[in-house]
């Protein structure tokens, strides 16, 4: 049969008309047959089967082949398990009458009532009712057809598509849950969601709007849409395109889904794109392509087809121009010396320096204000932002700009050690660039601020607690709540601090150029803070300085670096970190890991011996006790536990976070047989003296091809186990066998963390080829979707919403690289040290740098317990 004949037959079948009566009669016959066979039993059969006697009453009909199929299945299943009924059936086959037999025992013995079960059922019923009510109110229950959107306008043709056909949709029509809409060629349509957001559909686009527990979702099956959500107070909704999920609020963005992949472009606001691999943040004027084969295009083309194309393109142009102008503002240059060190006392133990940001902030504000005045589109967008309505940002920037113009390029904060275990209040210093700062402070001091301007010619009158004293002598502004310390700094002008070893270490940082700098004299601080050397952790008795630096690297990227230096070689615990070297254990971690910590240590046997020595200090009987314990265990900690190990180890959270985090452990092993024998010996000893809480341990093995897989579990927790094996000189362990096998396969195929772009993009720029330790975190790969879902819940309090916002704001990957040098430990990162950075220390990330404290109320910047001391010192 050729293709044309087949098409003709199909066409005839489609054209054939079947009368409604025929279809109805056929449906009734099918329903009657199904219903009768499934639900209607013979009236001679028992309605309910309670015991064996009811089963035996079915035997005659069963042998006569008149029993319904459902009862046949029940009887045959019962006779396989019940000896008495099986004997009755055999006797009936032989012609005996079984109806005169005595009643058999009940199938179900009466049981005592269980109040706990009743309460559990009641609680489940209550929860189900609550979920049902909530689902009904949101139109989430089966059979509901809740309205999700309204068709605002149609240019051309818009169809409502279903399994049974399609129908035309006109402007004003209501769109119910999950209804699929499709625009024809050369057509456009605009939908309005219940929250006021608009979805503009391009030609030949398929869109559906549905509701879920997480919120409203717009599903783009194919085509191109522009999403506009600009009204204040709009709830978050989601746009789904393939494996991309985009939460939308206060933004205008384009989503283009095709056969090759998807493209998301942002015209206004920002968007966070959640994919199966990673979470991406897009700002206005940026775009994201889901496939590397989909190249970037001029972003204006993604909005050119829209009915509001003129507005979108104008806004894109304004934001692009503004961004280029802001990027052209020169950042504060690196500083290579400081003129303020000569004012500091010799007892300084904390030294922090930040650049004067007034110039860049002033220029940025000027450019922004100019663009707002010149552009109606940009001004309309800005007026919708919360920061423009309360004016707080504008006031803060104006204050910073005004004060900073009087100051030099650097602002320094110091803290001095006044006595053992005591430190003075902070002192702030900055050079005065131009006159007029005194008059500015007097005229613009906030109402109620306890700020006292003093000089060497004026004696300070008694001041209330919480006052902030300011000196403007010698072209240097000095501010402190401690009047005595302020006079010591302001009236000296030349001290021996520049000749101290501490400032010598600070000078090293200046020679390389500093942006933000924090230096702590650990040697002096420890000496003044402990009474006996025993209070200092082992290996840190010769610690000298802690120096944290943050500077702008090449390409306007920041880099943070911390260095802990020692007087001489590292000792004790500080020496356990080995010199930088290869980390083969990292090859078992995949790019999907949420956390990974890897390190290279010096000889584990030596570390174990030193650890035993440290634990024995202060205990004369420690050696005998250790010998007794090792004899009982049957192992020597140094020779049997530490000696078989190498110095390379990695721990990672790599896999699903729920219900239990998927962990991995990889440790370099020189003697696998010796180590496995030690593990077996320890398990045997443990089982000879089992714990009442954990019970005995079960160590088992399984041979798969040429590799042996081991599992270790507790008899009290049989579902929780640790699986491990030996691979190419490494012991690799995981919480499941599947994850263990996957880790081995990842290493063999090269699907590793160190080869991923997320890892390599975070590597610091320095001369090292290896590391002593690394800490990698990418929480967004596991908790980002969970936190996003919780954050969208209306049941969370404001504090919980803020906490989740903080989680989501820190889900980008980060990497800390650590180097063990002979006399110091250095850490470097392109991000922050797990949330801490010098910008946070200075307060600049909240728009409150140290300088404005001079012109604000002292009660807002001093500790409550310092108010009384400040009052006493001022008198």
**670-681 residues labelled b (16+ CB within 10 A) or e (exposed):** eebeebbebbee
The whole-number pLDDT of residue 847 equals 34
Q: Which residues contact 693 (CB under 8 A, 6 or more apart)?
A: 716
Give the SS3 label for residue 89.
helix
pLDDT band for position 834 (cuts 50, 70, 90): very low
Lowest-pLDDT choice from 175-184, 620-629, 707-716, 793-802:
793-802
Closest Cα partner for 538 from 606, 609, 615? 615
Closest Cα partner for 557 from 710, 765, 391? 765
Asked whether the beta carbons of 191 and 169 are under 8 A apart, the reply is: no
Element (H, E) at 142: none
Closest Cα partner for 45 from 84, 75, 90? 75
Q: Indicate if the pLDDT at residue 715 is higher than 60.
A: yes
377: left (phi over 0), alpha (psi -120 to 50) or beta: alpha
The whole-number pLDDT of residue 113 equals 47
Cα–Cα distance for residue pair 257/205, rounded to 1 Å: 9
The whole-number pLDDT of residue 109 equals 43
Strand partners, 581: 771
Count of all residues that appear for the chain in the document: 875
The residue that leads in pLDDT, 269 or 743, is: 743
Closest Cα partner for 686 from 641, 736, 635, 724? 635
- Mean pLDDT calculated for residue range 575-593: 90
Q: Indicate if the pLDDT at residue 710 is higher than 90.
A: yes
- Mean pLDDT calculated for residue range 434-441: 83
The whole-number pLDDT of residue 731 equals 94
Element (H, E) at 404: helix 392-404
The whole-number pLDDT of residue 97 equals 65
Cα–Cα distance for residue pair 253/713, rounded to 1 Å: 52
CB atoms within 10 A of CB 870: 25
Element (H, E) at 519: strand 516-521
The residue that leads in pLDDT, 831 or 125, is: 831
Q: Indicate if the pLDDT at residue 500 is higher than 70.
A: yes
Q: Indicate if the pLDDT at residue 657 is higher than 50.
A: yes
Asked whether the beta carbons of 615 and 761 are under 8 A apart, the reply is: no
Q: Indicate if the pLDDT at residue 861 is higher than 80.
A: no
The interaxial angle of helices 376-383 and 309-327, nearest 10 deg, is 90
Asked whether the beta carbons of 403 and 855 are under 8 A apart, the reply is: yes
Q: Indicate if the pLDDT at residue 839 is higher than 60.
A: no
Closest Cα partner for 542 from 527, 528, 555? 527
Q: Which residues contact 559 (CB under 8 A, 6 or more apart)?
A: 550, 551, 552, 553, 764, 765, 828, 829, 830
Q: Indicate if the pLDDT at residue 870 is higher than 50.
A: no
Cα–Cα distance for residue pair 620/300, rounded to 1 Å: 79
CB atoms within 10 A of CB 73: 11
Q: Indicate if the pLDDT at residue 39 is higher than 60.
A: no
Q: Indicate if the pLDDT at residue 445 is higher than 80.
A: no
Q: Indicate if the pLDDT at residue 536 is higher than 60.
A: no
Lowest-pLDDT choice from 135-149, 416-430, 847-861:
847-861
- Mean pLDDT calculated for residue range 723-751: 90
- The secondary structure of residue 625, as a DSSP letter, is H
The whole-number pLDDT of residue 118 equals 53
The residue that leads in pLDDT, 786 or 646, is: 646
Give the SS3 label for residue 412.
strand
Asked whether the beta carbons of 191 and 207 are under 8 A apart, the reply is: yes
The whole-number pLDDT of residue 396 equals 63
Cα–Cα distance for residue pair 758/778, rounded to 1 Å: 9
Closest Cα partner for 632 from 684, 691, 692, 693? 684
The per-residue pLDDT of the chain, averaged, comes to 74
Element (H, E) at 81: helix 69-81
The whole-number pLDDT of residue 611 equals 82
The whole-number pLDDT of residue 303 equals 81
Lowest-pLDDT choice from 72-81, 116-125, 594-603, 767-776:
116-125
The whole-number pLDDT of residue 661 equals 75
Q: What is the pLDDT of residues 206-223, one digit of tens each?
A: 999 887 656 788 889 889
pLDDT band for position 598 (cuts 50, 70, 90): very high
CB atoms within 10 A of CB 831: 19
Q: Which residues contact 33 (CB under 8 A, 6 or more apart)?
A: none
355: phi then psi, degrees, rounded to nearest 5: -75, 155
Q: What is the pLDDT of residues 345-356, one digit of tens each?
A: 888 888 888 888
Give percent above pLDDT 70 in the chain: 65
Q: Indicate if the pLDDT at residue 553 is higher than 90.
A: no
200: phi then psi, degrees, rounded to nearest 5: -100, 120
Cα–Cα distance for residue pair 245/247, rounded to 1 Å: 7
The whole-number pLDDT of residue 767 equals 78
Lowest-pLDDT choice from 393-402, 696-705, 786-795, 849-858:
849-858
The whole-number pLDDT of residue 532 equals 47
- Mean pLDDT calculated for residue range 46-65: 79
The whole-number pLDDT of residue 466 equals 60
Asked whether the beta carbons of 720 and 694 are under 8 A apart, the reply is: no
Lowest-pLDDT choice from 261-275, 422-436, 452-466, 798-812:
798-812
Element (H, E) at 722: strand 717-727
Asked whether the beta carbons of 759 and 778 are under 8 A apart, the reply is: no
Q: Indicate if the pLDDT at residue 665 is higher than 90.
A: yes
DSSP annotation string for 521-556:
EHHHHHHTT-SSGGGSPTT-TTEEEEEEEEEE-GGG
Cα–Cα distance for residue pair 331/555, rounded to 1 Å: 12
Alpha-carbon torsion angle 17, 22, 24, 29, nearest 10 = -140
Alpha-carbon torsion angle 429, 435, 437, 439, nearest 10 = 150
pLDDT band for position 733 (cuts 50, 70, 90): very high
Give the SS3 label for residue 115.
helix
């Amino acid at each position: 049969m050729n293709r044309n004949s087949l098409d003709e037959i199909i066409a005839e079948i489609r054209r054939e008309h079947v009368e409604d009566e025929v279809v109805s009669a056929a449906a009734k016959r099918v329903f009657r047959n199904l219903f009768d066979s499934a639900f209607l039993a013979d009236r001679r059969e028992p309605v309910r089967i309670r015991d064996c006697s009811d089963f035996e009453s079915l035997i005659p009909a069963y042998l006569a082949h008149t029993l319904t199929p459902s009862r046949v299945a029940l009887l045959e299943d019962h006779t396989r398990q019940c000896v008495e009924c099986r004997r009755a059936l055999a006797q009936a086959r032989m012609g005996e009458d079984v109806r005169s037999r005595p009643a058999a025992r009940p199938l179900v013995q009466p049981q005592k009532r269980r109040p706990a079960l009743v309460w559990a059922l009641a609680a489940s019923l209550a929860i189900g009712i609550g979920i049902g009510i909530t689902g009904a109110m949101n139109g989430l229950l089966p059979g509901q057809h809740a309205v999700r959107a309204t068709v605002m306008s149609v240019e051309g043709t818009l169809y409502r598509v279903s399994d049974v056909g399609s129908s035309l949709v006109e402007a004003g029509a209501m769109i119910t849950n999950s209804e699929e809409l499709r625009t024809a060629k050369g057509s456009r349509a605009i939908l309005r969601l219940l929250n006021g957001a608009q979805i503009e559909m391009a030609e030949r686009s398929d869109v559906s709007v549905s509701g879920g527990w997480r919120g409203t979702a717009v599903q783009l099956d194919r085509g191109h849409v522009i999403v506009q959500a600009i009204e204040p107070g709009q709830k978050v909704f989601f746009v789904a395109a393939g494996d991309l999920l985009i939460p939308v609020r206060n933004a205008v963005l384009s989503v283009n889904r095709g056969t090759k992949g998807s493209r998301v472009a942002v015209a206004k606001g920002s968007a966070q794109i959640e994919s199966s691999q990673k979470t991406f943040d897009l700002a206005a004027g940026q775009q994201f392509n889901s496939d590397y084969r989909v190249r970037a295009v001029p972003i204006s083309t993604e909005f050119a087809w829209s009915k509001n194309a003129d507005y979108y393109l104008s806004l894109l142009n304004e934001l692009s121009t503004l961004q280029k102008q802001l990027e052209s503002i020169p950042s504060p240059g690196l500083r290579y010396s400081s003129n303020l060190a000569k004012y500091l006392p010799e007892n300084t133990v904390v030294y922090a320096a930040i650049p004067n940001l007034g110039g860049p902030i002033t220029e940025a504000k000027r450019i922004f204000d100019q663009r707002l005045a010149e552009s109606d589109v940009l001004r309309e967008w800005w007026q919708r932002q919360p920061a423009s309505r309360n004016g707080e940002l504008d006031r803060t920037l104006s204050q910073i700009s005004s004060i900073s113009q009087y100051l030099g390029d650097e602002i320094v904060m110091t803290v001095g050690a006044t006595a053992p275990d005591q430190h003075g209040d902070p002192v702030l210093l900055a050079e005065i660039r131009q006159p007029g700062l005194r008059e500015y402070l007097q005229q613009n001091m906030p109402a109620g601020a306890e700020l006292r301007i003093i000089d060497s010619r004026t004696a300070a009158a008694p001041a209330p607690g919480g006052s902030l004293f300011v000196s403007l002598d010698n072209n240097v502004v000095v501010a402190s709540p401690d009047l005595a310390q302020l006079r010591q700094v302001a009236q000296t002008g030349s001290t021996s601090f520049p000749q101290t070893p501490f400032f010598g270490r600070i000078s090293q940082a200046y020679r390389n150029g500093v942006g933000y700098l924090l230096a702590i004299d650990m040697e002096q601080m420890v000496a003044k803070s402990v009474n006996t050397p025993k209070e200092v952790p082992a290996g840190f008795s010769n610690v000298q300085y802690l120096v944290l630096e943050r500077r702008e690297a090449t390409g306007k990227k920041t880099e943070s670096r911390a260095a802990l230096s020692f007087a001489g070689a590292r000792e004790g615990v500080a020496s356990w970190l080995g010199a930088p070297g290869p980390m083969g254990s990292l090859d078992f971690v995949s790019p999907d890991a949420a956390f990974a910590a890897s390190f290279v240590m010096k000889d584990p046997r030596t570390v174990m011996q030193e650890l035993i020595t440290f634990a024995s200090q202060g205990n004369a009987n420690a050696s005998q006790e250790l010998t007794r314990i090792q004899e009982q265990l049957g192992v020597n900690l140094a020779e049997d536990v530490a000696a078989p190990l190498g110095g390379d180890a990695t721990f990672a959270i790599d896999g699903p976070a729920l219900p239990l985090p998927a962990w991995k452990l990889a440790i370099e092993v020189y003697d696998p047989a010796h180590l496995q024998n030690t593990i077996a010996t320890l398990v045997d000893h443990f089982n000879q003296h089992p714990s009442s809480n954990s019970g005995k341990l079960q160590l088992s093995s399984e041979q798969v091809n040429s590799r042996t897989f081991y599992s270790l579990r507790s008899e009290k927790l049989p579902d929780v186990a640790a699986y491990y094996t030996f691979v190419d000189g490494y012991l690799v362990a995981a919480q499941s066998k599947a994850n263990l096998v996957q880790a081995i396969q990842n290493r063999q195929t090269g699907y590793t963390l160190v080869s991923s772009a997320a890892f390599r993009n975070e590597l610091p720029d320095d001369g090292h080829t290896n590391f002593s330790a690394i800490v990698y975190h990418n929480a967004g790969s596991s908790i980002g979707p969970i936190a996003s879902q919780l954050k969208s819940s209306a049941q969370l309090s404001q504090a919980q919403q803020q906490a989740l916002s903080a989680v989501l704001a820190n889900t980008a990957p980060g990497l800390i690289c650590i180097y063990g040098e002979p006399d110091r430990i250095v850490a470097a990162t392109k991000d922050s040290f797990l949330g801490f950075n010098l910008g946070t220390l200075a307060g600049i990330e909240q728009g409150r740098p140290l300088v404005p404290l001079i012109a604000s109320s002292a009660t807002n910047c001093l500790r409550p317990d310092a108010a009384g001391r400040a009052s006493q010192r001022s008198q």
